[in-house]
Every structure is written in structure tokens, then in C-alpha cells.
Structure 1
Amino acid sequence: MGAGESDGGRVGLHILNAWEENSGSRIAIYVWYPTIRPERPVFLEPYTLSAAREGMPEEGKFPVILLSHAAAESGLSHHDTAEFLARRGFVVIAPTHPGDNYLDTSRIYTEHQVTDRPYHLQQALDVVAAHPELGPIADMSSIGVIGYGAGAAGAMLLAGAVPDPAGLRTYCTRAGMDDPYCSEWSHARLARFMEKTPQQLLPVEGRAWQDPRVRCLALLAPGYGMLFTAQGVASMQVPVVMIEAEQDAMNMPDLHARYLRTLLPESTSYFILSDATSFTLHSVCSERMQANYPAICRDSGSADREAVHKAVNDILLRFFGNKLQGKAL
């Protein structure tokens, strides 16, 4: 019996590519899905995964979950959650966002960190839909989105929200200069963003942020909360689950997750991970990662990353199982 088979089905992995329209930058796209092939260890620096590389998919149609990673991470950063969901009957698609990943941070704290993400997710969908093996099993009429950190803001745009940069202009008076958005470096990069109006941010003719196929959102340790108002989220008519990392120092919960909660319907499900930071939501670290990437692997004193991930995965499975698979879990 292969790795993971006693805990759900087998998971396959394809690595596909797209190219960004304007810049020509490569978008690496990681796709996890149910497969009939046995899993093997897969080494993709700096991660070790368990999957059947390019394994033959199971027969059937499976709901799709798009995954937008946190700032300066990659499509592999949350691979354990992607594997977990794929073993339970989902196709999980995670692009690495150009300009906002661990190799290239040129778009961090600019408007493009948020407004480019919906296009990357849509391009990833198009590539999977056109794939001869993955396209037939991916149910493109049943799509959910997981957004971590800045990815949560991109997910909200994909579901119909419209950002208003006016919130950036007053954010630091409330947050203080120690907030990551308010350092001299980040504030300077955000300057052009905060000068724009919502109308100036709207997509050019022929393109759109909103994708009507999106049926539900999961927002984890969300960032850029100050970009949204009640009016701006009014068009976002899909069920939402939000997970707060209570010890998050990157996106302070009071100013992001909890603020967004006040804008969304009362039916929004809300969970608090009391010991978690935003880094705790990154995949569980191997010993090699702990040695080479200590900042990513460091949690608050009482946090148990494996326990946090089990709790998160259970929440996501119940939510997407109900909204996309019609299961009462």
C-alpha cells in the first residue's frame, strides 16, 4: 500500500506551465488529483511530497479547488493540504504567482500583488481544462478557492469583490509603524497603489476578475483587509469560511481577518487558531527545511504545526465537501 492510501485515496501530481500575458513570466502550476497509481516520494526542492507523478487519474468528475499561496511563497507551500484534499476527491490547482514568490518579490506591496492573482488562477484553470488527462476529470462548474494571506484578497476578487485603495491611506494611523504594511520600504511601494481609485483598478476591457464558476471561498490568515468595504464585497455572493491565525504578525487579525468578518454575512463560518502564526499555515517542515529555512519553520512557543494542519484540513474538508460535493460531513 502506497503512502497516504490508508488515509483516503491515492494522489497524483502534474506540474504544468502557463505564461503571463503581459510579462511573459512563467507560471508554474501544481495539480493534485485522485489517481489509480501508487504514490512515491517526490523531491521538489525544498519539499518532499508523496504522490504519483503524472499518474493516471481515477475515472469520474471531481470538483476543483484553486489554491493561492501567501506572499513570497509558492504553489508548493501548502502541498500537504493539497494532497489531503486530493485524496478525498478534489482536483487542487496551485499556481506560483509571478512577482510574488520566494524567488521573485518584485510585486510585493504593489497593486499587482493583489490584482494579478485572479488572472493567474484563471490561466491555471484554462491550462488544466485543456490538458488531455486532467481536463476530463476536472469539474469546471464546481470550483472553490483557498487563499492564504495576500492570496485571500485575490480570491475575493475572483469571487466578485472590488478593492478600494482608500483604506491604505489611513491604515498606518491605526496599525502603527511596526506593522509590515507600514515600514518605510513597504509604504513606499504601496504609495502608487493608494493613490488610485477603485475605477482605476478595474480590469481592462475584455478581462474580468470575477469568475462566475467560483462557488465558495476559504480565506486563511487573510491579508489586505483594508482594501475592502461593505460596498466592495456586496457582489461577493458565495459562501465563505475564514480561518484566523491569532498570533499572525504579518496580517494583524484585528485589522484583517476580524475586520473582514464584519463585512461578510453572518452566515460566514469563522474559526480561530489560537496558537498559530501565518507561518504555521505553511506546510509542515522537514528537518532539512528547518535547517535551511528557519523563519518559515518557526512557530509561536505553544504551537503544534501538525495539529494545526489537521484542524485546518478538517475544516476545509467539511466546507468544500458540503459546498462542492454535496456531503454533510
Structure 2
Amino acid sequence: MRWSPFLLSALLSLGLSAAQAAGLRAFDVPASTDGPAIRGVVWHPCAEAPHEIDARGGRTFFGVNDCPIVGNKLPLIVISHGRRGWLGGHHDTAAALADAGFMVLTINHPTDTERNTSGTDSLAVTVERPADIKRAIDYALQGWPDAAYIDAGRIGLYGFSWGGYTGLAAVGGEPDLRKGLPNCQTSALRACKELEGGERPSGPIVHDPRIKAAIIVDPYPVLFFAAENLKAVTIPIQLWSSDPAQNGDGLSGCCAAAINDRLPSKPDFHLVKDAKHFSFLATCTLEETAKMAGICTDAPGFDRLAFHRRLHTEAIAFFMTHLGEAGTR
């Protein structure tokens, strides 16, 4: 669905007027026979003014730690980060959604983060990542001390890059994980090499029918998803793509056009001119830019802050449309 600029602005203003900042609370799924511990943070509506929070490593969040939660029976959005990412990679998006009245859960995928890359690009992580989403939602609804604030009937997902793969799998996609997959035979992807070496996935892909709407950004890898592998993805999808012209260096996550053509129901598709793959990550601090120039530097003339305002407006409108009003406040 396309929204008029006036309506989008009005929706965003409604969300921001209800809560002035994002509150932050710790969220830690304990290890069990189903998998390792999952570290997370919940961003939620808060009536206090935001301030800078040291997120370590030269990073800064804007919000309020342990602020009282505003509202009840709030929709929950789970954010899945990209390859070697972390739970704060989309902190501005999480804060914007929380300001608009959503509970937002960001997690670290245990074996594919900046600090633990043991599963990065592996066959194992193709199965583990969707399972992480289900385990996190299970805990959010059943074990987390503030579970009563969440409306279990209104759950959404936001996935970037490998998080886009994760999201597609979690909402019904059945990745083709077999030896001899044509595009996989010549790929340098670790999972492809393992498949060609005779390895098999450690278990089935775990789907979560509780997820009612999803935003998918530059999903990767798409070679596991032919159209027939996506035929069960029937929930509303908002699909975002970076600009192929800005990703000629082979960045893993560019672009989403192929998935746009394969989904059984036409998604709300956005191709962002001049955006690089990493333009979807939160704007970097000076210290981050010095350490990770490739991730933090956009194309000449591309304004990441302005783009994120548009991204957040569209995301809020999408989730409000498909999950309902953001809650009783």
C-alpha cells in the first residue's frame, strides 16, 4: 500500500505524541536444550525525555533505561540483524517504532554477531537464525517479566540482510538446502561449500505463524529461495532494496528485486536510489566511522538521516496498518 505524504506525516506525529522517548530494558533468553542464551534489548514507549546512553565501543543510543512502560497490550516487533551484526545495529529504527507505541525486541543471533562469528555464513546458521526468532518470541510472551505488556496476537518482524533471510524463513519460506543447487555450486558462501561437501542442515526450518507482518530489507542469501520456496509466505511484506548501482563491489545483501518477483503476493516494494547496503544501518558516530568506514560511508550526496526519517515513517505506517493501532496508552 502507498501512503500520501500528508497521511504518513500524520501517522508519525500521532505515534510520537503518545510517548516522548524509547525506554530500554534488558532481555535475555536463557540457554536451554533448544539453543544457547540469546542476548536482547526491548525498546518500548516511555513518557520521559530521551538522553544519550553509552552503548559501548563508541556507540550511542537515545532513550531512557528502565523507564516505566507506557500503554498495555502493545504490538511486538522483532528485529533480526545482518551478517556479523549486533542488537544495536538498527537502534534508531527500534527507537522510532517504540516512540510510535510498539514494543521492539532486538536480539543478537548467538553464533553470527560481531563478537562471535563461529556460525557466520554457515549451513548451521540457516536453521539456527529462524529458530532464534521463535525462541525469542516464546520468551517474550511466556518468560519475560514484562510479558503482560505484549499483545500476543500482534507480532511483526524487521529483518536486514541475513536478517532478511531469517525473516523470510520465519514467516513460511522453505530455503532449498540441498547439494547440487545450481547457483550454490559456484558460490563462495560457506553454507554452499558445506552443502557441496555432503553436509546436511541440522534440523528443519522453524516457522512462526504468530508473525503477522514483516519488513524485509536487502535479504541475503536469496539463492536458497526460488519462487516455489516462498509460496507459503502469505503475510503482508514491505520489501526494501538498496541501489544496485551503489553495490557493484559485490556487497552480500544487495538487492531485493529478485525476491520482489518471487513472492506470491505483491509486497510493498521500495527501491532506494543511491542507497548502499549499509545505508539501512543506524547513522554512525565519529568513532564508529573511524573504525568502519565501509559501513558508515554513504554515496556522495546521500543523506542517511533524511532517508531513515522516510524509512521509519513508512515502517510505522505499515505496521499500524497490518498490526492495528499501536496500543492503549
**When the two structures are superposed, what TM-score results if normalisation uses the length of structure 2?**
0.84
1:51 to 63, 69, 93: 63
Q: Cα–Cα, structure 1 residues 264 and 67, in superposed 2: closer, same or farther, change >3 Å?
A: same
- 2:164 maps to 1:138: no
**CA offsets per residue over residues 211-242 of structure 1, 9 Å max, x none?**
11111111101111110122211111201110
- Map residues 143-182 of structure 1 onto 2, 5 A cutoff: 143-166=155-178, 169-171=181-183, 182=187
Per-residue deviation, 1:81: 0.3
Distance in 2, Cα, partners of 1:226 & 1:274 = 24
Equivalent position SS for 2:120: coil
Q: 1:226–1:142: structure 2 CA closer, same or farther, 3 Å change rule?
A: same
- What residue identity is the alignment partner of 1:149? S
- Identify the range of structure 1 (66-75 vs 11-20) with the bigger mean alpha-carbon deviation: 11-20
* Cα 1:78/1:8, change in 2 over 3 Å: same
The AA in structure 1 aligned to 2:38 is I
Answering whether residue 77 of structure 2 is matched by residue 65 of structure 1, we say yes
**CA positional deviation for 1:194:** 4.8
Q: What is residue 10 of structure 2 aligned with on the other side?
A: none
Aligned positions, number: 307
**Mapped partners of 1:106, 1:23: distance in 2:** 18
Contact 1:59 1:137 in 2 (8 A): yes
Shift of 1:39: 2.9
Q: Compute the displacement of 1:23 (Å).
A: 8.9
Relative contact order: is structure 1 or structure 2 higher (C-alpha 8 Å, sep ≥ 6)? 2
1:12 equivalent to 2:23? Answer yes
Q: Identical aligned pairs, as a percentage?
A: 22
Q: Which amino acid aligns with 1:15?
A: A
Residues 249-300 of structure 1: CA deviation (Å, up to 9, x unaligned): 42364xx511111111353111011111121111111112112322221222
The answer for the alignment partner of 1:118 in structure 2 is 130
Give 1:250's aligned residue: 251
User: Shift of the alpha carbon at 1:126?
Assistant: 2.6
Does the 8 Å contact 2:221/2:253 carry over to 1? Answer: no
8 A contact 1:148–1:220 mirrored in 2 = yes
The answer to whether the Cα contact below 8 Å between 1:167 and 1:226 also exists between their aligned partners in 2 is no
- 1:73-121 Cα offsets, whole Å, 9 max, x none, are 1011000000000000101111101111111111112122322112211
1:267 is matched with 266
Structure 1: segments with no counterpart, 5+ residues: none
> Which residue in the other structure is 1:40 paired with?
51
* AA in 2 matched with 1:81: T
Aligned residue for 1:93, secondary structure, equals strand
Deviations 1:175-208 (A, max 9, x none): xx8xxxx4xxx445531135679xx54845xxx6
Q: Which residue of 1 aligns with 2:140?
A: 128
CA distance in 2, matches of 1:133, 1:38: 24
For the residue of structure 2 that corresponds to 1:162, the secondary structure is: coil
Change (3 A) 1:293 1:28: same
Say what the alpha-carbon RMSD is for the aligned residues: 2.7
How far residue 156 of structure 1 moved from its aligned partner, in angstroms, is 1.1
The separation in 1 between residues aligned to 2:212 and 2:277, in whole angstroms, is 25
AA of the residue aligned to 2:82 = A
Q: CA deviation at 1:314?
A: 1.7
Say if 1:189 and 1:213 are closer, same or farther in 2 by CA, change over 3 A. Answer: closer
**Unpaired segments of 5 or more residues in structure 2?**
1-14
Contact 1:57/1:133 (CA < 8 Å) preserved in 2? no
**Alignment of 1:302 onto 2:301:** yes
**Within 2, Cα distance between the matches of 1:280 and 1:168?**
34
Contact 1:168–1:226 (8 Å) recurs in 2: no
Equivalent in 202, 217, 222 of residue 219 of structure 2? 222
Pick closer, same or farther for the CA change 1:167–1:284 going to 2, 3 Å. farther
